[in-house]
Structure 1
Amino acid sequence: MTVKLSSSSLATLPSKVAGPNYDRSALKAGIVHFGVGNFHRSHQAVYLDDLFGQGIGHDWALVGAGVFDGEKIGRGKLEEQDWLTTVVEQDEGHMSARVTGAMIDFLMPGDAAAIIERLADPAIRIVSLTITEGGYFIDPASGVFNPTHPDIVADAQPGATPKTVFGIILAGLLRRRQDGIVPFTVMSCDNIPHNGHVTSDGVIGLARLIDEDLASWVSDHVAFPNAMVDRITPATSDRERKILADDFGLEDNWPVFCEPFRQWVLED
């Protein structure tokens, strides 16, 4: 007999599965996160779940975002279970499972207008990223941002609807500048050296193609902290779903299996 994961089943989770000890209905969004994959759900989302469990930070909940059509599949799986994720920590001879509830919404991937609207909301104070190294438009030869990439060039055209993460972030920042709202912090959680600098090079590099004044404003007013992140988190397959169902009695469309160790060092 297995329990299917959803908000309504949180009260009846199997005995070996821990669940959120806070009221998810009282959470308010504070972070928009691009790249809702396994690593993000085993790392940043777990830290936030821990924070909420201590009875603090309930206005820092996560809203997912993405730019690729392929991300709609993961979004659909999470929507079916009210944005909940089961995280299974696994090492030699030991496994533990917990349901995390830090995510409260996931905007439709590729819906630039809806994402920009959310980025313009003063409640959003951080925009975080796990978009993999390939998402930063780094030229493999030089190792720096490539402003001639076709997707970047397209986003820099007057009146273009942005298609890249950097284009959407920049549009959100522009809206906040126009509305007199303090800009959000842009926080990379990708495992690449100097990830904050790499992110600022991308956002400011795109801004420079559009308007030199905008590039200067971003450079002067937007924080791009560097971070060091670590947690081994493989992809999810039917094998992991079966282990969760057989060993813990829980059905999850998209569980995350990971090592117990985790690390997150963030620049002030």
Structure 2
Amino acid sequence: MKLSNATLSQLPADVARPGYDRTALRPGIVHIGCGNFHRAHMAVYLDDLFAKGLGHDWAILGAGVRAADGQMRGALAAQDYLSSVIELAPGAHKARVVGAMTGFVQVQPGNAALIAAMADPAIRIVSLTVTEGGYYIDPTTGTFSPEHPDIRRDAANPERPDTAFGAIISALAARRAKGIPPFTVMCCDNVPHNGHVTRDAVVGLCRLSNPELAAWIAASVAFPNSMVDRITPATGPRERAMAADMGLDDAAPVTCEPFRQWVMEDHFPAGRPPLEQVGVTFTPHVDAFETMKIRILNGGHAIIAYPGGLADIEHVHEAMADAQILAFVDAVLTREVLPIVPPVPGVDLSDYKALIIQRFSNPEVADTVRRLCLDGSNRQPKFIVPSIRDGLAAGRDVAGLVLASALWCRYCFGESESGAVIEPNDPNWDRLQDRARAAKAHPAEWLAMPEVYGDLVSNPKLVVAFDRALTAVWQHGSRAAMAAYLERRA
């Protein structure tokens, strides 16, 4: 039965549904980028809040700026903006229908409808999940790039912006002109210091066309930092079949692990929903939680990904069932990452690592190794290289982290160790593949990417360690290289 308001009462009894009157909801948030993660994370927290009878003027108005967002709008509009979310605990699936979204702005060139929606005084938060690579960061400097073609285009045409940031600027300008207080801009992407990064993108773009407005935005608009966490695989035939088996005819079902976490700075001048009532942590120490998560969870994913990919392993839980890969990720996290992660209030880092290992091993999620390997050129500088840098600065051994980076290089060669072709899996795949092939004979060629390794390209300890690691991988294979690391550090 097609998911809709009219069919909610006819869903199977074991499928949870909105515990509130959706007609009483009023949008207070415009969210740009309504993919799987948003609908399994922020939308679920708000659904829980509304079920408590709280915050009914904080419903979500979906939005987007890409063609894919238009397709999502069509799928969700056909089912009254309802989404099914299936939590995949080991041995048990639990489905719910989430009703926190009440509409979806028309997706169009120039974003006039989106700008008008954000200019509405009822909207007090504009939130984003536009992917880790969507913030126009110069890979060499790690800061906002005003030279990106998208940015140059918006700067030349501020009245018809194509980017989310250009649309936000136009909406803020409209509110300012009418004396309407600015909304808070809340990034929900997995980006270090995500509030600062979003502020840099908005203010940096605005400076190119209207420096005076940019100064007002910098002084008047809040961009709170946050840390978000929930493993949410891509939706494919398996996930659609799973929803159908549970009695859900959903054009865009979402599956996810049971665990979720959201940590935020409490900086919302225009107000916010009382999300602390449903488990969100508000703290001035977001940086500590963020570093813990990025170094241990995201870093752990990167450590698993490339030995799994080279071994032709399809799923993450299958990689975790491989005794050697499990031992490798556990050893690198324990010996090289945990000692350099700053303390986190109320958290035991060893317990957190154990939780991460447990989450990675969940067979129901069926997250893919290929997804973890995706976009290494953007992820390695965030998830692995900072730990290498801090370890070297502290005089610690970083052999396992360096080996993980060497395995990324070997993966980018484009063949697994069985000789199977690895299809392109990075926006910069061709360049990475050329460099990986050159590095087979001259490992230092791989390090000569300042956008990834920064000034570490000239660090003699890293150069020697990487040469040793990549040479061992090519001469003896990834398994022998991991075994040597584990034996040497035992």
Q: TM-score range by the shorter chain?
A: over 0.9
Distance 1:70 1:56 in 2: 32
1:79-132 per-residue CA deviation (whole Å, 9 max, x = no partner) reads 111100001000210110000000011112235111111111000000000001
Q: CA deviation at 1:8?
A: 0.2
What is the match of residue 164 of structure 1? 163
CA distance in 1: counterparts of 2:38 and 2:114, whole angstroms: 19
Against the structure 1 CA distance between its residues 14 and 154, is the aligned structure 2 distance closer, same or farther, given a 3 Å change threshold? same
Higher helix share: 2
TM-score, structure 1 as length reference: 0.97
Question: How many pairs were matched up?
Answer: 265
- CA deviation map 1:164-184 (0-9, x unaligned): 010000000000000000000
Distance 2:158 2:123 in 1: 25
Instruction: Assess if the C-alpha contact under 8 Å between 2:107 and 2:113 holds in 1.
Output: no
Cα deviation, residue 239, structure 1: 1.2
Q: Counterpart of 1:96?
A: 94
In structure 2, the partner of 1:121 is 120
Say if 2:235 is the partner of 1:242.
no
Counterpart Cα distance in 2 of 1:220 and 1:168: 19
Q: Secondary structure at the match of 2:7?
A: helix
Q: Deviations over 1:156-207 (max 9, x none)?
A: 1255410001000000000000000000000000011000000000000011
Match of 1:218? 217
> Within 2, Cα distance between the matches of 1:263 and 1:227?
10
One-letter amino acid of the counterpart of residue 76, structure 1: G
TM-score (norm 2): 0.53
8 Å contact from structure 2 (residues 28, 123) kept in 1? yes
Structure 1 segments of 4 or more deviating over 4 A? none
Distance 1:241 1:97 in 2: 13
Which residue identity lines up with residue 3 of structure 2 in the other structure?
Answer: L
**1:233/1:259 contact within 8 Å kept:** yes
Please tell me whether the aligned partners of residues 29 and 58 of structure 2 are also in contact (alpha carbons under 8 angstroms).
yes
| 1:36 match | 34
Higher relative contact order, chain-length normalized (CA < 8 Å, sep 6+): 1
CA distance in 2, matches of 1:38, 1:115: 21
Q: Which moved more, 1:179-188 or 1:8-17?
A: 8-17
Query: Does the CA contact (< 8 Å) of 1:20 and 1:101 recur in 2?
Result: yes
Please, which runs of 5 or more residues in structure 1 have no aligned partner? none
The answer on whether the counterparts of 1:154 and 1:160 sit within 8 Å (CA) in structure 2 is no
> 2: CA distance between counterparts of 1:160 and 1:221?
21
CA contact (8 A) 2:86 2:96 kept: yes
The residue correspondences of 1:120-159 to structure 2 (distance < 5 A) are 120-157=119-156
Q: Quick check: which has more Rg, 1 or 2?
A: 2
1:187 alignment counterpart: 186
Q: Where does structure 2 lack aligned partners over 5 or more consecutive residues?
A: 267-490
Instruction: Give how far 1:70 is off.
Output: 2.1
Q: Hey, which of these two has a bigger chunk of strand by percent?
A: 1
Across the aligned residues of Structure 1 and Structure 2, the Cα RMSD in angstroms comes to 1.0
Q: Which amino acid aligns with 2:48?
A: D
Is the contact made by 2:5 and 2:80 (CA closer than 8 Å) also made in structure 1? yes
Moved more, 220-229 or 159-168: 159-168
Match of 1:45 in 2: 43
Alignment-derived partner of residue 259 in structure 1: 257
